[in-house]
Amino acid sequence: MNPCMTTPPDDSLEPEQSVGGSVAARTSALGRALTALTKTRVSLRINHNTHTLATVSPPKRAGEPWKFNLHAMFLDADEIVLQALVAWGKNDDAAGRAVRKYIDAHMHAVRPKKSRMAGVVLSPRGNTHDLHALMQSVNEEFFGGGRSVYITWGQDGRRATPARRSRTRQIRFGSYDEHAKVIRIHPALDRPEVPEFFIRFVIYHEMLHDLLDLETNEATGRRRIHPPEFREMERLFPQYHEAIAFEHRFLKEFM
Ligand SMILES: [Zn+2]
């Protein structure tokens, strides 16, 4: 599933425009193309996951390879897209947008694992905030890219109306459906007044639910949704206090 290969530097090899062929052949063609473009050693990993669709890390020191972790959709990318990948790796924002465009046009190749996802329509791109991109960055920063969950704007069907009760915060800005592995973020947050860090915090919180997998207490049969270690990890978020303060302000002003 995850062929991983390293190609030696070889400037004489031309990038290939291969469509079709075995995954192994296309992977090695892609490796050669990237080697030609970066003029250095390349470590290429092709993935079939749904979230980390493209990661490009240029070498930090001389002698290190360029590292590419790419979704299989890139096996069919033409040279313009590959050039954009390399330029994006060098922090070219316009190239990053070209890569994003390619990904958007090929999202049909990203197949979520069926059954459990049945009936769940994901719409991660809002008017202001792109949840998919935000989740990807949270996943990289806090979970080493290791969480594999879905995300969408929307409300938890079980709590469709944001209710307000006197004592506890009842408006849930995020929810996590552990069966479908879907994080839902309340659409009220999709506006420019809401800073990215706050949405990242809500995503981080929901991803912790995926990580900690809510154990049921054997003795009581009760599940603690936010056990102490959950709260402890939640506080590791760098802007934890700002996020809590923002939440209070936001609830007062907008909800
Ligand atoms: Zn929670």
pLDDT tens figures, 120-179? 778 999 999 999 999 999 999 999 998 999 999 997 655 444 444 434 444 689 998 888
Alpha carbon separation from 224 to 29, 143, 212 (Å, rounded): 50, 22, 11
In this prediction, residue 106 carries a pLDDT of 82
Distance 230 CA to ligand 1 centre (A): 9
What is the edge-to-edge ordering of all strands in the sheet holding 54-57?
4-7, 42-47, 66-71, 54-57
DSSP 1-37: ---EEEE---TTPPP----SS-HHHHHHHHHHHHHHH
Distance 112 CA to ligand 1 centre (A): 24
Q: How far apart are CA 213 and CA 58, in angstroms?
A: 35
Distance 207 CA to ligand 1 centre (A): 9
Distance 232 CA to ligand 1 centre (A): 13
Distance 128 CA to ligand 1 centre (A): 24
Distance 16 CA to ligand 1 centre (A): 48
Distance 52 CA to ligand 1 centre (A): 24
In this prediction, residue 3 carries a pLDDT of 30
Distance 225 CA to ligand 1 centre (A): 6
pLDDT, averaged per 10 consecutive residues of the chain (255 residues), comes to 30 37 85 93 83 84 89 90 93 89 80 57 92 96 92 72 43 84 93 96 94 62 76 95 95 84
Strands of the chain, DSSP E: 4-7, 42-47, 54-57, 66-71, 150-153, 174-177, 182-185
In this prediction, residue 228 carries a pLDDT of 87
Q: How far apart are CA 40 and CA 32, in angstroms?
A: 10
Distance 8 CA to ligand 1 centre (A): 47
Distance 104 CA to ligand 1 centre (A): 30
Distance 208 CA to ligand 1 centre (A): 8
Distance 79 CA to ligand 1 centre (A): 44
**DSSP state letter for 223:** B
3 state DSSP class of 44: strand
Question: Domains in the chain and their CATH numbers?
Answer: 4-109 (no CATH), 115-254 (3.30.2010.10)
**DSSP state letter for 237:** S
Residue at 97: amino acid letter: R
Distance 140 CA to ligand 1 centre (A): 20
Distance 139 CA to ligand 1 centre (A): 17
